[in-house]
Structure 1
């Protein structure tokens, strides 16, 4: 009887303690991160625990008000929002009760926000994410429509457009090296170096899918490329694996089936993880919608795109192995959302394993990144010299070109003088790195 009575009193005491224990574990804002992009600002509140929240908007002036339950403490918001074109200020306001806080986000215009919580995923803990996107920005998937040339209305002699996609960004750091290197920073540096090389080449133009540290959803990446009239889409990444031993670069093309290698399956898994980590708003928005074109049109267009992508991948591998070890000597295939643009040839380049300490060090070395960018550029240039897109300056120049079979006693300088062009022009037209020619070699002679 006494034991039963003791058990009852102990249970009662524990029940009385629960509110106090819960009060002691109240949530708290640990930090705030703001990721501004050209058409979107993401505000991330890092919290001790999963948030219970409600929100509403107010007009004149435009505000977003968020109530977070069972949360205490004061975080200094001064200075936040100055880099965003959408967010003017974050401040506290009078809360609904003593156990909660009220946040007010002062906005520059009427914006329809998307708010969602994210669970802990390295390197972050619990988060409350607020996406502020222009109401006039079209984020919905395109309706199925016929694939047509995105240059149909342009005049001839246009530049060849290369869309360069730096993987990850913003809330999605990508893989993290042993020394703490974020993949998103490496990919952006290589993408910018590649863009500079493309823009320096007459008759070529680059589009940077992201130019800063912010996340772009997979569908949005290909939309940016398509709206810019891209002839090619290159996604730059730095690989990772569960162990530090693997090293070297690789080039990936789209597979309509699942990947048949362990590394490919890892890459597919990492891509899905990245979309949830950095683009949960897009996942929520597009969960029940049809993203792609009708299957017949998709198959027709994808066949050409995939053939072109595979040929280019071979060239990229040939150039990259001159400057780095290659993990795979042939193009690899995986089911990757970022490569599913049916009308644009697309490849994904893994520039090395950031999970390998030696390669992480190399990827942090600017000279190595420049060499990687130059290798990719050389492959792209060679590809388009042989098969320039219709309507481009390079296509027009190729129509005016002739060929010459080298005979005994002929040199580049002799041929340059004969055809009234410079030696350098002759070398560029034939993708040559030296002045040496061999008997029987067929050279392209561009118009003078």
Structure 2
């Protein structure tokens, strides 16, 4: 079967690889000039299989207003908010207030995370890809008793789902991450030994090259502008060049189509009759060369005070922070980078050359409830694999396999009910 995958971020490329593995002919359509150039470019380096959670959290709703008023708080919003921002916030509030939904969605996302871990292990066993891959776990810090109590609540759910973890006191935390010694308050931590790290951009580029070597066609610089339909089927996509120089065919016909277009999925979904209320949640990162590896984290450390994630990627340190509601504003305010720098210096002073750091901003494709959209669209040969929010890197390998199973008529290895596209129809 010929399958067209729309989007060459990490989700689209892993989907193309999963389909290629099964013997399908695959064409990947990407509006930019290479794979992994948008949200996958410089996101957080952790593959946090045991640390995934829904966006629409009742606890987050309670903290939202105070956070908006604090300079270094993790949540920001451009003022005045646009109509799209307000609609997204109203939908988020509605989902956060739905009894039992957050807990059910968190369980579903953790199950998908565990499955994605298995899929990544299989992929890395099969391929030799160079992307600063590591498997030394993830650590979430508790700087006070309140944070420590919250970690214990999370530990209970991990235990219920059979996800390996350790609750560490301060001394045991420093044994795991000795660079933290005497740098900032510390009560303890939650350590997830099964979690991993890696450079998502390097992975996406390397896997795209592998796909091409196995016959996958990548059509870069191509923007989808329409669809040719026949009753309940999509027959072909109408394309135009993203710039005047691109050599792009007018149409691409296919037997099936998979939408993996991240923040572009809302616009493209409308072409196919799919309602996808995906919002571009903005984040920032700094990537700096290490000066002293002994002062740097061994793997991934989440600071509970700044909500900044610090990850070692080979000879580099990447720190990522903020959830900002600003539509597609690509500006990088100095104040955001200053907060990330403070977070790094508070825990890992002298670890990296922050003066040589590369800054980045990108947009996570977030659904108002939080779980990604995985399943069949309204058109009976359209499949959706998008809206992964802050966890696209983590969940990509698993969600790709689930879509491939669905296309081949198999029962998906993880229930897709919590991820069904039709949940936004009302």
TM-score greater than 0.5 by the shorter chain: no
> Which has the bigger relative contact order, CA under 8 A and spacing at least 6?
2
Radius of gyration: which is bigger? 1
Give the structure-2-normalised TM-score. 0.24
